[in-house]
Amino acid sequence: MALAEAGARGRLLRWPRVLLFGDSITEYSFQENGWGAYLAERLVRKCDVVNRGISGYNTRWAKLILPRLITESTGADSIAAVTIFFGANDSALKELNPKQHVPLEEYAANLKGMVQYLKSVDITADKIILITPPPLQESAWEKACLAKGDKLNRCNATTGQYAQACVQVAKECGTDVLDLWSLMQKNQDFSSYLSDGLHLSAKGNSFVAAQLWSRLENKLSALPSLLPYWRDVDHTNPEASLL
């Protein structure tokens, strides 16, 4: 059978998508042993896990980008889940990092606006997971800042305020939330979760992967594996199994 004929006979295969939207902590999640790579491995043959992490970005910029990533006409109906993971940059101290800083009230409004946009293109609240920024290990991040000729430009208490705002937005909007700031600090020494005081270490990636999977598993468990297991393909008439 010619390929064109096979294509005409068969339905277009569309993998559902899990969209990871965030800053550098999301962008780096596809590195070796990253939390995004873990999800992709767990969901292979069921979903495409799409990394749309953009290093250095805040919610002010993210809210402008989101409508360019998902529209009704570009497959919002195929979205199985969306994570929104911002705050590590928004919470930068205004006087020391005015470019990335977003005021707390605006941060909350931006998160709420992104959730409302997703709902407007028929992505329901149960498919959306907000993720708070992780805690900041100040001494380690200060070393990273000094190495670049900068002063310490974030503090953990401020990051906690943004995390609390994220949790509140999730509550108001009816979405799930992964409160990393609180969960990681249940361990008195949370520094092992972070590579440089801000970004995730291997242990931190494993922690995020496990916590996020516990929330995604129920949402995605009903999705079937796409295409039959090879032993189930009728080798005498593969068209009957595959088209």
Quick check: is 196 catalytic?
yes
Residues 33 and 205: beta-carbon distance below 8 Å: yes
Instruction: Say how far apart CA 181 and CA 187 lie, in whole Å.
Output: 11
Instruction: Say how far apart CA 139 and CA 199 lie, in whole Å.
Output: 13
* Pairing verdict, β 48-53 and 176-178: unpaired
Partner residues linked to 176 by β-bridges? 129
Active-site position among 182, 192, 196, 201? 196
Active-site position among 24, 182, 191, 192? 24
Instruction: Say how far apart CA 241 and CA 228 lie, in whole Å.
Output: 7
Quick check: is 24 catalytic?
yes
Instruction: Say how far apart CA 209 and CA 203 lie, in whole Å.
Output: 10
Active site residues: 24, 196, 199
